[in-house]
Structure 1
Amino acid sequence: MAAISRSRRPLALAAAVAVALGAGALAVTSASAAEAPLKDYELSWGIKQSYRSYVTGMAAGSFTPAGGATQAADNGAFTFAGGTGTYDSDTRAVRLGFAGSLKIASKLHGFDLTLSDVRFDSGAAEITADVTSGGTTQDDVPLADVTVTRTMTGMETRLTKEAATVLGSASYEGAAGDPLTVVQKTPPTQSPSPTGSPSSSTSPSPTTSSSPKPTGSASSTASPSASQTTSPSASASETGTATQGDIADGTLGWGVKQSFRTYVVDGPAKGRITASGGATQASGNGDFTFTEATGTYDTDADTLKAAFKGAVNFKGHEANGSYGLDLTLSGLTVELDGGTGELTADVESLGRTSDDVVLAHLTADSSDLKAEDDVISLDDVTAELTKAGAQAFGGFYTEGTVLDPVDLSVALSDDAQLPDGNGDGGSGNGSGTGGSGDSGTTSGTTGGGGTTGSTTGGVTGALASTGSDVPTGALGAAAAVTVAAGAGVVIAVRRRRQA
């Protein structure tokens, strides 16, 4: 096997791999040799399940293994066979190269790349491959860091910065990949170890001073604040506010999904976001505000139903005047009962419309609806993708995927003052967010990585991600809104505004 040209990082944990290999797996030609040849190994790795779903789903693309590589049924993981290499008895490192290649292509989303010469190095604790794209090949590109284990089965992987570039999504850097397994195809019968060869009975265990290689930044799940409590509802006699009636005005603040906004404006979609019809978008590619709420409330029953004006259009992947991504959300409605409820919207994608799609389950920090100065306000209401929404959007995301949180303020009288100074029922001025109101807003960048406007720079490569681990590109009609869901950690619900 050709020597690996990249500099390798040592990892003491690789010593444990000697035990997994066993005596019969090491065919040495000399008792004094530092390296023993290995053969007949297989490497199984799926890269990332959500990436495979994207390629064969919304991208309408394909995986084509060849030359000894295969793919499991039902769009499963990939296996590269014919693994040969060496075991270094000094460093206890296993280095293997595998036959076969994997072509990943989508005409619809405009990517075509091939992975070949896949290699695993337990000492460096990584997977590498040669990557060919656009007629150019990069050798030994590190795709994932590996937490090496004694058995070399089901090892955790963490995608690298280079993998993020190859796959076209900066958010992949540090994201968990699929588990990795490296095994001998036909394990030999165990026999006494040749002199000087490590065996399962003599090979050292990992040293106590070593620890698994860092696998990237750990994700965390926020938990509700300990200060969250349920406050008793104010009675009409205490506040002078009617306990039920019609909503006079209101605003809804919601970003859909921050990573999706970034993808549309700053990513390969090279698109734009336009708010219209009473909706606005905050500057810096920020959240959206929908206005002129109508509906009903009942603070005794803790129920509320409010519909909001305004629409938001996401457009990108332009080619010859046509767009692969053209998604509009309008007619947003929030319904709450005892602190939980749902967010619905009319969804139009590539000319096809579905009305009253239940996009998200909503959970507020309290079951109590309390009016203060004739205004009911709820901040950071958790929004999670519903089962019905996942089915309506092509089944690409699973139930429970977290969207951006929702902020809600409704006025119960014509002279009530909504937060941020926008009072007077029916004003339609939103909640002070930036943008150009009814004329629409074209968003800029977030994080300063691109340029303001509809054409941007961004990550190059095969695709872009709408979340920590879900990529997307031009969207099909039914599946379009799944990109809005993205992926991420649960956002803790803050206490709603106080007077």
Structure 2
Amino acid sequence: MTTTARRPRTARRAALAVLATATALGATALTAPAAGAAEPKGMGQSAPKFELKDGTLEWGVKESFRKYVASPIAGGKIETADGARQAGGNGAFTFGEGTGTYDVATHAVSTTFKGSVRFTGHGGELDLKFSDLKLKADDGKHGSITADVTTGGKSQDDVAIASLDLSAVKPGRGADGAMTFAKIPVKLTAAGAQAFAYKGRPMYQEGTELDTATLSVKAAPASSGSGSQDQGTQTDTGKGKDAGTQTDTGKSEDKGADKSTQTDAGKGTQTDAGKDAGKGQDPKPQPGGDKAAASGQILDGNLDWGVKETFRKYITGPIAGGKAELSAGAVKSGDGYRFTKAGGDYDAAKATVNATFAGALRFTGHGGELDLTFSNFKVKAAGTTGTLSADVTTKSGVSKDLPLADLKLPADALKAKDGVVTLSGVQAALTAQGEKAFTYNNKPMYPAGTALDPVTLAVAVDKNAKLPANGATSGGTTGTGATGGTTGGSGSVTGGTGSGTGTLANTGASTPTGALLGGAGALLLAGGAATYVARRRTGRMAA
């Protein structure tokens, strides 16, 4: 009698613990199977795998790859089939009708989605298809996206193309009860890098950051029959209630990614330079490097600019198979390039700079079909705006002093300090005229307004001034993958911000549970777990 009386209380405690956890959206772990339960061992021995239904996976694979396929260089197209669809404006993909299971004891989740996406380009030389996508997470912290991969007519099943880091992902719940895990960080695996190959050479390195993924799932209602909890859970599959809600997520992520890459690069250092520069100005130049210099000639200086990181990687990648060459005094500077021997004039009172720089940069690719040279760079700036221009040589001819980029400067950035005017990480956007420079097969590769690599320069306006020993590199975004150099390489095609390390974040967590089905597992499965516990309680009482 004593044992029989204790079991209902134990079951009630387990049910209450699950339901209590379910009320906490901010919870980051679902203890196995419920915090405070007196019988975790008993629950673990027979804990079920709850069925999941109506799942959607929104994933754009890689934004820069989508843009490349649709560009005039690849001249390709993207096709979705079997229920998958793509958001407008070459956006992310949504794979629906997801079904799967969640293991209460181990917190493992496995979901399979319907739909396929196919990328083709270069007259069929590039042909890549992903189908039968699956999202798996073994411990709630790390997971993977697998897919059947078809390249060049040859297929390979269940290739783990991407790894997931779910340790910091917090779940949300939709109005219809679906649990959503938004913006899951995704990185390319070694097997995935082999999938992205062109002419036998990988376009991206292992560890390259891919588009973030968003998972949405529902728990299928438990059936009333004893021992048949998993039956009948597929009847609602394919309704696609949530599929349309995911399309905007990918757009905002892509836009945000592009904006953050460019805006963060130039802040802070420019503002500090401006604050210090305006103190104690003297209209007369003073020997010995006074705090502020007067109007006069620019005596020396450097311009650091990487043009556009993704363009560099494209040129040196396997598709263009090209190289970047420097001459006339230009040198490598970090991931970008440095143009030297500045001249021109500076007006402190009007806060204007008119600087010229020596050096030339030539990009070639596609067996010489792409040939682009920049030389005689100029920066004209006044107040908070400026323009970067250059002489541009293409196969169509030469354009002198062509405006390439509009510059956005912080306030007081053009004040000299110790005889040097410094601009660090200035935002640069492609001009309408510059759009014509980046053409291939007579079609622009980038539209006007596209963010280019930030611009950094330092010019001496006093004969005793000393230029910074090491100019800030202008390698563009935070990506540290393969970069363009003076010789061809295996750089990634239009690579983004991937670190190239392939290392997952170390969460330091000591418990076997994580964020994927932590708070979300409780929210999602509270009803099913309560039904399960009640069922066990009923069975014990009947016994």
TM-score by length of 2: 0.57
The residue correspondences of 1:94-113 to structure 2 (distance < 5 A) are 94-107=109-122, 110-113=125-128
State the distance in 2 between where 1:455 and 1:160 align.
Answer: 25
Q: Structure 2 vs 1, CA of residues 344 and 453 (structure 1 numbering), >3 Å: closer, same or farther?
A: closer
The secondary structure found in structure 2 opposite 1:55 is helix
* CA 369–283 in structure 1, closer or farther in 2 if over 3 Å, else same: closer
Asked if 1 retains the 8 angstrom alpha-carbon contact of 2:64 and 2:496, the reply is no
* Structure 2 residues not aligned, in runs of 5+: 1-26, 34-45, 173-177, 197-201, 231-256, 439-443, 472-478, 500-543
Give the Cα–Cα distance (whole angstroms) in 2 for the partners of residues 74 and 159 of structure 1.
Answer: 22
Aligned equivalent of 1:252, options 294, 303, 311: 303
Q: Distance in 2 between matches of 1:390 and 1:173?
A: 33
- Change over 3 Å in CA distance of 1:287–1:97 after alignment to 2: same
Q: Could you give the per-residue CA deviations for residues 420-476 of structure 1, whole angstroms, max 9, x where no partner exists?
A: 79xxxxxxxxx999xxxxxxxxxxxx99989986343x26xxx61344179xxxxxx
SS of the equivalent of 1:180 reads strand
Residue identity opposite 2:307 in structure 1: V
- Give the match's secondary structure for 1:76: coil
Query: Which letter maps to 1:464?
Result: V
How is 1:290-309 mapped onto 2 (pairs within 5 angstroms)? 290-291=340-341, 293=343, 295-309=344-358
Alignment partner of 2:339 out of 286, 289, 307 = 289
More helix by share: 2
User: Which among 139, 145, 155 is matched to residue 182 of structure 2?
Assistant: 155
Q: CA deviation at 1:282?
A: 3.2
1:294-373 → structure 2 map (5 Å cutoff): 295-318=344-367, 322-323=368-369, 325-338=370-383, 340-349=385-394, 351=396, 356-363=402-409, 366-370=412-416
- For the pair 1:129 / 2:162, whether they are aligned, the reply is no
Pick the aligned partner of 2:80 from 60, 65, 90: 65
Cα deviation per residue 1:330-372 (whole Å; 9 max; x = unaligned)? 3421112246523223444553666522414153684453386
Give the one of 223, 231, 245 matched to 2:278: 231
CA–CA distance in structure 1, aligned partners of residues 215 and 398 of structure 2: 44
Q: Give the partner amino acid of 1:315.
A: T
Q: Matched residue of 2:366: which SS?
A: strand
Judged with a 3 Å threshold, the aligned counterparts in structure 2 of structure 1 residues 269 and 33 are, in CA distance, closer, same or farther, namely same
Is the 2:296–2:461 contact (alpha carbons within 8 Å) kept by the matching residues of 1?
no
Q: 1:234 to 1:175 in 2, by over 3 A?
A: farther
Structure 1 vs Structure 2 CA RMSD: 4.9
> Which residue of 2 is the match for residue 465 of structure 1?
494
Check 1:448–1:396 CA distance in 2 against 1; reply closer, same or farther (3 A cut): closer
Deviation at 1:119, TM superposition (A): 0.5
Alignment-derived partner of residue 173 in structure 1: 207
The counterpart of 1:49, out of the listed 33, 52, 63, is 63
Which one has more relative contact order, counting CA pairs under 8 Å at least 6 apart?
A: 2
Code of the residue aligned with 1:234 in structure 2: it is D
- The DSSP-based 3-state class of the residue aligned with 2:185 is strand
> Are the structure 2 counterparts of residues 395 and 264 from structure 1 closer, same or farther at C-alpha, using a change threshold of 3 Å?
closer
Equivalent pair of 2:329/2:359 in contact (CA under 8 Å): yes
Partner residue in 2 for 1:382 = 426
C-alpha distance 15-104 of structure 1, shift in aligned 2 (>3 A): farther
Cα distance in 1, alignment partners of residues 133 and 345 from structure 2: 61
Q: CA deviation at 1:315?
A: 1.4
2:355 match: secondary structure: strand
Q: Normalised by the size of structure 1, how large is the TM-score? A: 0.61
Compared CA separation, residues 255 and 174, structure 1 to 2 (3 A): closer
Following superposition, the deviation at residue 120 of structure 1 comes to: 1.7
Q: 1:428 maps to what in 2?
A: none
2:100 matched residue in structure 1:
85
Q: After the TM superposition, which residues 162-201 of structure 1 pair with which residues of structure 2 at under 5 Å, given as runs?
A: 162=189, 163=192, 166-167=195-196, 168=202, 170=204, 173=207, 175=209, 177-183=211-217
Q: What is the distance in 2 between the residues matched to 1:250 and 1:383?
A: 19
1:97-123 CA-to-partner distances (Å, cap 9, x unmatched) read 233322112116952211122102244
The secondary structure found in structure 2 opposite 1:287 is strand
Identity of aligned residues (%): 29
Q: CA deviation at 1:287?
A: 2.1
Give the SS at the match of 2:453.
coil
Contact 1:340/1:367 (8 A) holds in 2:
no
